[in-house]
Structure formats: C-alpha cells, structure tokens
Structure 1
Amino acid sequence: MIESSLYTADIPDELGGLRLDQALAELFPEFSRSRLQDWIKSGCVQVNGKALRAKDKVMGGEAVELRAELQDSGDDQPQDIPLDVVYEDASLIIVNKPAGLVVHPAAGNWDGTLVNALLHYAPELAAVPRAGIVHRLDKDTSGLLMVARTLQAHKVLVEQLQARDIEREYLAVVQGTMTAGGTVDAPLGRHPVDRKRHAVREDGKPAVTHYRVLERYPHHTLVRLKLETGRTHQIRVHMAHIHYSLVGDPVYGRLRLPAGAGPDLTETLRGFRRQALHATRLALAHPEHGDLCEWEAPMPDDMSALVDALRRAQEEGGAL
C-alpha cells in the first residue's frame, strides 16, 4: 500500500548554491537522499510551482512542496526487544533509549536496533518513514526520543523540529571545571580527514548549544545543555571545541585521571566506556491537539554512579 503526505518548506538563504537534492536532504533529514532523488525524478517535488532536476541549483528563498509517497517497508524486521516506553497514545510514542542501542539499521548493525524493536511493539510503524523516528540519538547516548505513530503526526513533528519548536535538554559530565554556563555558536560539518567524525568548520551548518552548570567538582562538571539545532554529534563536538570534552567519549575526548584521584574515582572513570550524555527532557506541541507536552527521564544508573563517585571524591578530598 502506498500513502502520500505533503511537506512544505522554504529553502533558507544559507542553502543557496546547493543542488536541489542536497538542499532537500537538509530540509527533510528524515528521508534518504536517494529517496528524495526518486521523488524529484517522478515529479513529486515542486519548487516555486515548477519541477526541477536533482542537479539544479537553488538560490535560497524558494517555496518547496514535497509529496512524499511512502510504501510499507518490508526490509526491517520486527524483533522482540524490550522498550522503556514512557508515554504513548494514538499518534505518539516517547521512548527512553538505553545506552548501547543503535537507533537505525545500518552497516554492522542490520538488526537489534530501536527500529526493529518499534516495529514489533507497534507494527503500524512500518508505514511511517524510518518507523516514525524523527530525530536521532547516538548509540551510546541514552534518553528520550520521540516516535510518530502516523504519517500526519510525522509531518507535524518534522515541521516542529525544522522550526526549532521542540525543546531538547541533555545532562552531561564533562572533563574540566567550568566557571559558568554559556553558549557555543559554531558551525559543524564533516571532519576534513576522518569522515566518521564531525568538526567545527567555517563552511559547516549552523549549530548552537546552550549549557549551564549544575554541579562543579575539582576536575569535572555536571552540566545541563539545551539544543537550538540538532547536528550530528553536536554536543560532543561543541564541548570538545571549548576544551570540556565529555567523560568517556571515545571519539572526541580522552581519559584524563585527576592527580591524586583515589581508587574509587579512578576505577569509575576507567570503567565508564561511553560518552556521559543523557537526553533528559523533551517538550513539544502534541501533533494532534497542539497542547504542550513534556517528559523528563532521570540519569541512568551508570551516569548516576559516575556523579556519585565525583561527589564522594570531592567530599573526601581524593581528587584534589
């Protein structure tokens, strides 16, 4: 069965000069570029009321209409994987994702993902793009993630995300003692050498992260972060950029043991093998009735144990 849904957007000025398919990939990140190219070829995309080719350049400011034709997916298989569902109704599911769970199937992780779990939990998600997932969390980032249960809900949530109307807040433990909160406004793009990494680049996409201090320790800080944008690895790259890399981050940081750290703290820091990052709060306008909805998920056990060890070390003077 094929269903269609109409998406509209204005191409922002900063995307001027890109190919149409590249601009659409930025505007509609929930769809793959190959799928967008197919829709362009089949006439499902109108730019200022006209059909263009995928390679045609956009200027910025054009009005885009995308009629997304979506077919039931038979590629990803349902799997009975436990889910921590914190809320659900006819149009929305909010999941508290554990660290270690991959969100989308990809090379090296073709099953055992959140998508597989969702297709088992709610089979109707097979008819929604990417099983209803409209934003991502890294494999080793825990916390709240929203899932659209219907095509209409998916459309509304994507529009909210693009308009930056969805509030996403995170907890993180960083290396170094921050004196105050602040904002990182630094564009992000692919690392020029290592394509698996991202980096601050002058020619990157706009990215803004706000952070405030919750607790200070002699050599670490517990912070709460709020995203304005949702770029890949945004928090991890931004914190490393200002020299406060996340504890346990295997890509953008390295283990730094404080001088004089006791055995308890040393063991805890050495044993923390993922970035200390948790999506703790999510707030959005409900896609059906528009009322403000918000959810909070406390830190998972491993991050709580990390914070407890830092507090004990501070009290005992073991990390001074």
Structure 2
Amino acid sequence: MRDPTRRENRLLAAPAVIFLLAMLGFPALLDLLYSVSTVSFENLRAPELSGFGNYRAVLQDPYFWNAVSFSTHFGLLTAALETGLGLFLAVFLSPLIQKRFWLMAVLMMPMVIAPSMMGLMYRLVLHEFVGPLPYYLYEFFGQSPAFLSPKRAFATLVVIETLQWTPFTLLLFYTAYSAIPADIREAARVDGTRGLRLFTHIELPALLPTLLIAFAIRFIDGFRVFDNIYVLIGSGAGGSSTSLSIYIYTAFFKSADIGKALAASVLLFAVAFALLWLLGRLLRRRVRA
C-alpha cells in the first residue's frame, strides 16, 4: 500500500522543483553545451561543437592549477578557523546570549555586509599609504607591515574572511547547542560528568552533524570565493591570489575564452556537488547508526 504522506510531500515539493529546473536547469545545460564548444561573443547563438578540447586546455593550464591550489588552501583554512571559532564562541557565549538575545543581532552584523563592500572597506583600512591602520602602527611602533603585499596577502585574506563569516557558524552552533535536551545534561551531571568531559562526551557528539555541515558549507564558499578578494587585491602579483572563480572571470571577460571559462566552471560545480553528495552520505550513515 502506498504511503499517502509520501505522495503529499512530493506534491508539496513539486512547485519548488519545477522552479529550480526552470531557473537553473536551462543555464546548466547551456554551460555544458558551451564547455564542449568553440564559442566567443561573436557566435554565442551558434557555438561550434569541439569535443573536450576546452577541458584539456584547462587541465593543462598551470594557472588553473595555481588557482585550484589557492582556492583549496584558502577554503580549508578559513573553514577550519570559522568552524573552530564559531564552536568556541557558541559554547562560551551561550549563557550570555540566552539572557540577552539581542547580542546575537550585534554578532551577526559582519555577515550582513556584502563581501564586495567588506573587501573595499578593508582595502581602504589596510592601504599602505592612506590606510589608518598602517598609519597608526607606524606612529606607535615606527614601522608597519604591508598587509596587501604578496608575502602577507594570503594571511590578510584569511583573517578578513574569517572575521566576516565566523558569525554564520556561531549562529548554527548556538542553535544546535541550545537544542540539546536539558535532561541529557542533567543525567550526565548526576553520573558525575561535568566540565570538559561533559562537552567532549555528550555535547560534542550531538553537535557533530552540525560541525560537518558548517565545515562543508564554509569550505565550498571559501573555495569559490571571488568578490572580496577581487575588490581587495585582485588576482595579485603573478596571480598569487587568483582563486578559481577569479580564474573563470578572467578567462571569460578579459580573455574572451568562453568555452575554457565554462569548462572550468563545470569542474568547480562538479567539486561542489561531489562534496555535498559525500556529506549527505555521511549524514545518512550517522542517522542509520
């Protein structure tokens, strides 16, 4: 006998699925078509199929692999920092936020700012000649590091990204931490489990699915980062700060190599899809266990 609830869920989800197919399906198919075609702005309406030459050109391009390396390191480091800091702040500030929930709105403010505006703001603040931070460092200490130089640009970008998006993980972890049933904590305390042992043996396992989700979301977002880096420093000296998204943008708009750019974008989409699929499998295994 068929489950009526399952049929009802499908009917309720149908409008959203149809909307997503209409809005995202056609552009995705068009990207796939262009990625295996010789295409430019002159023949956008009549691309010439050329096989997988664009993918071969992308995979043989050293600048592509430099961009992949930059995006991977940037995504992993920022995701780890944001996840760790968000978890620490959620646990540490939980009693204070429960009493004064308006503090959460204050903590969320960096996340509300558009990344491009954040990049522009820090570009003005950290500018070597007109920035207030280098000026005051030089006034008080007699010297100031060049925050946007090739040697320090990566660390500066990581710090800026972490400061902006740690509130996102804080919100996720605070919600999950607050949802842990109080009777579980009380039972653990009755058995003598307190402090760090309570956190590592009771609370942290309950937060593990949220940890995985937060890390995956922040890694994907860091891996495809574009706007704040492009506004702050661009592709950097010798392409030192070229993320995969900046590589695609440069190939598309500056080099007019549309097929190559879309081939790289398909590879980026494949990586993001594979990570989300792997995360889904891990979560399903945990639910079954």
- Normalising by structure 1, report the TM-score: 0.21
Higher helix residue share:
2
TM-score w.r.t. the length of structure 2 is 0.23
Structure that is richer in strand per residue: 1
